[in-house]
Amino acid sequence: MRVVLVDAGGSNIGSVRYALQRLGVEAELTGDVAAIRAADRVILPGVGAAAVCMARLRELELVDTLRTLESPLLGVCVGVQLLFAHSEEDDTPCLGLLPGRVRKLPVSPGIRVPHMGWNTLQRHRDSALMEGIGEGDHAYFVHSYAAPVDDDCLCSSEHGERFAAVVQRGRVAGAQFHPERSAGVGARLLRNFIEYGLQ
């Protein structure tokens, strides 16, 4: 099993790599097109701004590689936002592997943005990616932007409004929360991705 982490920049790459090591998986950090295409599983992490991450992918000439990838692809944090067609953040065109727009979470009395901390997951539909992750389980979030709840949403969470916490369409999936900081839930999501792929 060959697992790669796409070097899209972002401070969470090391912690995602360590989370995989705890599962017995040595993931290669790479921006090389051939290495990414040859992988059995591809993870796209990201922290920071969507525009900065997309610029990094363009610089490495990885946009078309990710758009045409045949292996299962998992986006994490900003990485999941990049899977969508567009992000409101800096009016950024993204990969377009999932339809829809990523929007800023609304600020309201008692609701701070960015959304930081543990929050509850609500399941919407079954998937091998969600095996062993139950209704009401908790995951750790740090984000200001999020994708809408639609037919591709496996589970959601709520912060001011309900948003997609895990999404999947075919071979493409993503988690808005940080699996490397989400204890058992995060470890299970990563293990499911490695063991089952995206079915």
Query: What digits encode the pLDDT tens for the residues 8-55?
Result: 876 567 788 889 999 999 999 999 999 999 999 999 998 788 999 999
The residue from 70, 158, 180, 195 that is catalytic is 180
Q: Is residue 180 flagged as an active site residue?
A: yes
The residue from 124, 143, 159, 178 that is catalytic is 178
The residue from 53, 77, 94, 153 that is catalytic is 77
Q: Is residue 77 flagged as an active site residue?
A: yes
Domain boundaries, the chain: 3-196
3-196: CATH topology is: Rossmann fold (3.40.50)
Whole-prediction pTM: 0.96
State residue 46's pLDDT score.
80
Q: Is residue 115 flagged as an active site residue?
A: no
Q: Report DSSP state, residue 129.
A: G
Which of the residues in the chain have pLDDT under 50? Answer: none
